Amino acid sequence: MSYEPKPGTPVQELDTPALILDLDKFQRNVDKMARFFANKPTVLRPHSKTHKCPQIAQRQLAAGAVGITCAKVSEASVMAQAGIRSILIANEIVGPAKIERLTELARQATMYVAVDDPNNIRALSVACHNKGVQLGVLIEVDIGMKRCGVQAGPVVIDLARQIADAPGLTFSGILAYEGHLVMVQDPEERARRVRHDIQPLNDVVESLEKHGLPAKIVSGGGTGTYDISGTCPPMTEIEAGSYVFMDTTYLKIRPEFESSLTLLVTVISRPTPERVIVDAGMKSITHEFGLPQPVDVPGAALRSLSEEHGKIELADPAAISVPAGSKMRVIPSHCCTTVNLHDKMYVCQQDVLVDIWPIAARGCVQ
Ligand SMILES: Cc1ncc(COP(=O)(O)O)c(C=O)c1O
């Protein structure tokens, strides 16, 4: 017997915890970002780590994205199987098993990958040459995040030369993600710091050009900075992801996008007038960016999460009726990690189910 709800089911009748995507809000987010990049020299290659869902990637492409960004080979594999033909893995892919998988993908799609190490370049080249495929390679440059990447300077030219000379590889450009700045609250400070930290890349790109190694792609940017890095030379591609859903963290700094993703939960217990216990905990919603936020119930605040329980407190219990069995929605504080906890999202319009989209790359961390 199938427990899958049918299109036409009201949201309130869906079993919980359930990730609910408001299709109209989601589509407005997709269209708004696409409009920003229409007629700009910089293009959008949205990060699919946010949604891990081919249906969403296809909608981003239909709105004008030039391809998609992924974090992992297994994630890229799901997207390639879904027919996506241009994929940037904005990450270093290290080790024979992953490199083998990457070369397979290069048969199906135009693949780009990031590097910051000569040995990794050699390993990628041997594998691609043996397989008879061509792989686009971007050098990751650290512009302040202090994660992966080499420092801007002569080492970039050395690596670019090595890539350009390596069979099976094409030197495609630079990856430089300003992740340390995407959440800076003050917009002016954010803009100033992003422009400052991107500036050294202009010298890098100029120097590459002089050495006959033009950077076709210079990729970076997130939802917090898309309009800054997206209009800042030498960036050519922006990797924003969260704008499709938003979360309480990004809503504080990016009010132009709408909250399209919520978790529907059921009240399972009312032990005291103030206390409401719901059926969603850390296994359904993440909290590394703070506790998620209930909507629809005025004065309700989530106080803690255990594995399968959420504890909500009501500011004024007399003013509102929230009996056991009633349902409410919660906005995640971090959409990307919350989505990765679910197999599917329930796509709704005007609070009625219209479709169910599998989160096909959910759990694809290899
Ligand atoms: C490499 C890379 N690019 C871009 C992003 C931007 O994503 P978002 O729009 O969700 O901030 C991230 C976020 O983790 C990232 O790791």
Tokens linked to 332 = 């995640």
| pLDDT score for 2 | 75
Among protein residues, the one whose CA lies closest to atom 11 of ligand 1: 222
DSSP assignment letter at 155: H
Task: Tell how far the Cα of 228 is from the centroid of ligand 1, in angstroms.
Answer: 14
How many angstroms separate the CA atoms of 199 and 202, rounded? Answer: 6
Going by alpha carbons, the residue nearest to atom 3 of ligand 1 is 239
**Residue 23: enclosing H or E segment and its boundaries?**
helix 23-37
Q: Which residues does 83 contact at the CB level (< 8 Å), separation at least 6?
A: 54, 58
Give the tens place of pLDDT for each residue, 226-276.
999 999 999 999 999 999 999 999 999 999 999 999 999 999 999 999 999
Cα(50) to centroid(ligand 1), Å: 8
CA 49–ligand 1 middle distance (angstroms): 8
> Which residue's CA is minimally distant from atom 6 of ligand 1?
222
**Digit-coded pLDDT (tens) for 105-164:** 999 999 999 999 999 999 999 999 999 999 999 999 999 999 999 999 999 999 999 999
Q: What is the pLDDT of residues 260-271, one digit of tens each?
A: 999 999 999 999
User: pLDDT tier at 10 (50, 70, 90 boundaries)?
Assistant: very high
State the DSSP code for 351. Answer: T
pLDDT of 280 higher than 80: yes
- 288 Cα to the center of ligand 1, angstroms: 16
Atom number of ligand 1 nearest to Cα 241: 9
How far apart CA 140 and CA 90 sit, in angstroms, is: 9
Q: DSSP string of 271-317?
A: SSSSEEEES--TTTS--TTS--EEESSTTEEEEEE-SS-EEEEES-G
Nearest CA among 228, 114, 232 for reference residue 182: 228
Q: For residues 361 and 366, what is the distance between their CA atoms, to the nearest angstrom?
A: 11
CA 365 to ligand 1 centroid distance, Å:
15
CB count in 10 Å sphere of residue 7: 11
Which residues sit with their C-beta closer than 6 Å to ligand 1?
A: 47, 50, 90, 177, 179, 182, 222-224, 239-242, 336
Closest CA to ligand 1's atom 2:
177
Look at phi and psi of residue 302 and say left if phi exceeds 0, alpha if psi is from -120 to 50, else beta. Answer: beta
Q: Output the residue whose Cα is nearest ligand 1's atom 12.
A: 222
User: What residue's CA is closest to ligand 1, atom 14?
Assistant: 179
Residue type, 245: F
Nearest residue (CA) to ligand 1, atom 16: 179
Candidate from 37, 48, 49 with most ligand 1 atoms within 8 A of CB, to mutate: 49
Q: Which atom of ligand 1 is nearest to the CA of 91?
A: 1
> Ligand 1 pocket check: which of 47, 69, 334 to mutate, most ligand atoms within 8 Å of Cβ?
47
CA of 18 relative to ligand 1 center, distance in Å:
25
CA of 220 from ligand 1 middle (Å) equals 8
Q: Using one digit for the tens of pLDDT, what is the confidence trace for 64-91?
A: 999 999 999 999 999 999 999 999 999 9
- pLDDT tens per residue across span 29-48: 999 999 999 999 999 999 99
Question: What are the tens digits of pLDDT across the range 283-342?
Answer: 999 999 999 999 989 999 999 999 999 999 999 999 889 999 999 999 999 999 999 999
